[in-house]
Structure 1
């Protein structure tokens, strides 16, 4: 009920938003995704806030390349850190962000990845998401896909069967070197 009310409120406010058609289209799309999300509207918004706060903290680490992805207040850190001490410090800093419940620190130790490598990861993410569409075993709105150095990380609130099906789709996608499940399982 809460999701429905939020969706209706967002849709009702769109005609009053400045920015015309692009904002209205994005707003309606976000409302539609939120309506099918297993997170509450408040947690969905908090995840966005956590990611913005993480970006602010991560700007201090010029020698590292770090992505922070939040789902249900669990933060996945991917990318590269120069050494183990930096990796640990980044994880500790992100864990201190208000509302963060857990941190999955998947940072690799090494040199920062190239733009070419990151572009390839973006293509892999797109390919995995495309293969997940209309699969009949889970909703793509329940799965967040992140790719780093060819490894696909899967986040979401899913059943065991949904998580296994999503991992199988990712695992069998061209260009994927590995799959890491960072799911929260529901009954």
Structure 2
């Protein structure tokens, strides 16, 4: 009991500290953390192939905006995943970027993780890019950028990402504050 209270207090403190680095409210940050698993579960329930090894689906939410990235073998599965996502309370918009392909290999996914790490590191090192306000998701060499920022900040972020070796394409899914 005492340990759970300490863990909850630590989580709240971390949320408050990180909340100060972003334009979105702490409530939205917490909501997003609960939305992602709900969306993933709804997608798995929508069709057996969406929850099997025949599909690889990454769900990311930022300020209620949900990104579906990854691969699924058929167009109707892509549509089912989107419909399932829209049914989750708190989802304000869905960007369905699923590719109609077989799932990527572990090597490709490892490269995607490395690419995301490179991009985030460069963003945090560049004072002109608000890296703490930008969520970076890389899937099959495609870099998706989410966040609540100005158009000028978005352009600077995209230019930075463009300079990183291995990026195949950049998709800006920002919510603009100006």
TM-score above 0.5, yes or no: yes
Q: C-alpha distance in 2, partners of 1:24/1:42?
A: 16
Distance in 2 of aligned mates of 1:53 and 1:23: 21
Unaligned runs of 5+ in 2: 46-50
Residues 1:56 and 2:41 are matched in the alignment: yes
Alignment match of 2:75 (pick from 76, 81, 84): 84
- Structure 1 residues 143-154: aligned runs within 5 Å: 143-154=134-145
Matched, 1:161 2:161: no
Helix, strand or coil: the match of 2:125?
A: coil
In structure 1, how many angstroms separate the alpha carbons of the residues matched to 2:2 and 2:25?
24
Q: Distance in 2 between matches of 1:35 and 1:120?
A: 31
- Per the alignment, do residues 42 and 24 of structure 1 end up closer, same or farther by CA in structure 2, a change over 3 Å counting? closer
Partner of residue 121, structure 1: 112
Distance 1:123 1:25, change over 3 A: farther
Instruction: Judge which range, 137-146 or 17-26, deviates more.
Output: 17-26
Query: Normalized against structure 1, the TM-score is what?
Result: 0.84
Aligned to 2:103: 112
Distance across 2 between alignment mates of 1:95 and 1:20: 34
* RMSD, aligned CA: 2.1
Map of 2:20 onto structure 1: 35
CA–CA distance in structure 1, aligned partners of residues 92 and 132 of structure 2: 21
Query: Residue 62 of structure 2 corresponds to which residue in structure 1?
Result: 71
Distance 1:19 1:131 in 2: 36
Q: 1:41 to 1:79 in 2, by over 3 A?
A: same
Residue aligning to 2:126: 135
> How far 1:116 sits from its partner (Å)?
1.2
Say if 1:136 and 1:67 are closer, same or farther in 2 by CA, change over 3 A. same
Local SS of the residue matching 1:137: coil
Report deviation, 1:134: 3.1
TM-score of the superposition, structure 2-length normalised? Answer: 0.88
